[in-house]
Amino acid sequence: MIWLIFALLTGAAVMSVLAPLAMRGGAENESAADVAFFEQQIAEIERERAEGRLDALDAEAAKTEAARRLLRAEAAPKAKAAASRKLALAAALAAIVAIPAVALTLYARLGHSDMPDMPLTARLESAPDGRDLSGAVARIEQHLREHPEDGRGFEVVAPYYLRTGRGEEAIHAYSEALRLLGASAARHAALGEARVVIARGLVTPEAKTDFEAALALDPSAPQAQYYLGLAAAQAGDKDRAIEIFSKMAADAPADAAYLKAVNAQLAKLRGEASAPVAARGPSSEQGKAIAAMPADERQAMIRGMVDRLASRLEAEGDDVEGWLKLIRAYSVLAETEKAKKAVSDARQALASKQDELARIDALAKELNIGG
């Protein structure tokens, strides 16, 4: 196809050179005017002889001279036409040969005829220029509108949707990739994670189904294992969550990127994580001292600080920051019922402050606490 385009462009270039050579109307018009002039002159001589203003001898001589000039005028266009045709033919041959020869020579020196084409898949996988990322995504979207059967295109654009807050579009793109490209542990897990992000950290039943499908295809898939552990913790099945995260920690390579998150979940479930405390909590030195304590003493001190925060909020219930810290502290300590009660108490204490109530509701939703 590309060579046909090149041939058409070459033909257009040749015709642009030959067209001016074919325009000879100016010279022909000039010769015709000369012939008409001499014919008129001969007719004038005949009239003067008829009127007696010229004798027969002079009239014949004048006519002879005019006729000689007339013959030269008539012969001139033929000679010019022959010369013009020869010139046009020479120019045409030169154009037909020279233009392609020059073009092919330049392409041979500057072009890359041996360079393979770049399929769409490779173009979609290549990292676009960060300055034109939205433009690149727009081009992919246009491609997908024209080729909705291209699952690879959906798989490439889905993470961009998720990073830029276009959650529903991300779920659609991941679903289409799964449908068109076939089931795999990675695709099921990616779709499930998108659902969790949209739900603000809550592992929904649909997401749980996706993660279970991922594990059915690859029992060692860490992403699916992690979110199923999180789902168990959110459902209040603390033992099952600890079992999942403990197995992950035991099986994980020492440099696994997800190991830190797994250990943090285990610490939270076992009550070993440091809970948030009141605004007037311990300084950094106190924090270091607490961290150096044995686990049972550290846990007792943290629980004491949380209890003091709860007592203060009973007397000073308009402190939204305090309520947020208390709710999160109970969640870290895995005391779900106390966290729910704190949400309920906070809503009562802050009933007249809509903005602060919204913050309480947002945290309750994030932690999956109904209150």
Long-range contacts at 279-288 (CB < 8 A, ≥ 24 apart): 279/321, 279/322, 279/325, 281/305
Q: In this predicted model, what pLDDT tens digit does every residue of 130-141 receive, in sequence order?
A: 445 677 888 888
Read off the amino acid at residue 190.
A
Residue 162 and residue 229 share a domain: yes
Residue 253 and residue 289 share a domain: no
Confidence (pLDDT) at 279: 35
Residue 244 and residue 187 share a domain: yes
More confident site: 92 or 353: 353
Sequence-distant (6+) residues with CB within 8 A of 170 are 158, 159, 161, 162, 194, 197, 198
Q: In this predicted model, what pLDDT tens digit does every residue of 166-207 receive, in sequence order?
A: 888 999 999 999 999 999 999 999 999 999 988 888 999 999
Tell me the residue range of the domain where 153 lies: 132-269
Confidence (pLDDT) at 293: 57
Residue 83 and residue 190 share a domain: no
User: Could you give the CA distance from residue 151 to residue 149 in angstroms, rounded to a whole number?
Assistant: 6
Residue 239 and residue 196 share a domain: yes
**pLDDT tops 80 at residue 320:** yes
**pLDDT tops 90 at residue 210:** yes
**pLDDT tops 60 at residue 24:** no
Q: Which of 116-120, 224-228, 289-293, 357-361 has the highest mean pLDDT?
A: 224-228
Residue 253 and residue 227 share a domain: yes
Confidence (pLDDT) at 183: 94
Residue 254 and residue 143 share a domain: yes
User: Could you give the CA distance from residue 189 to residue 62 in angstroms, rounded to a whole number?
Assistant: 109
Confidence (pLDDT) at 137: 82
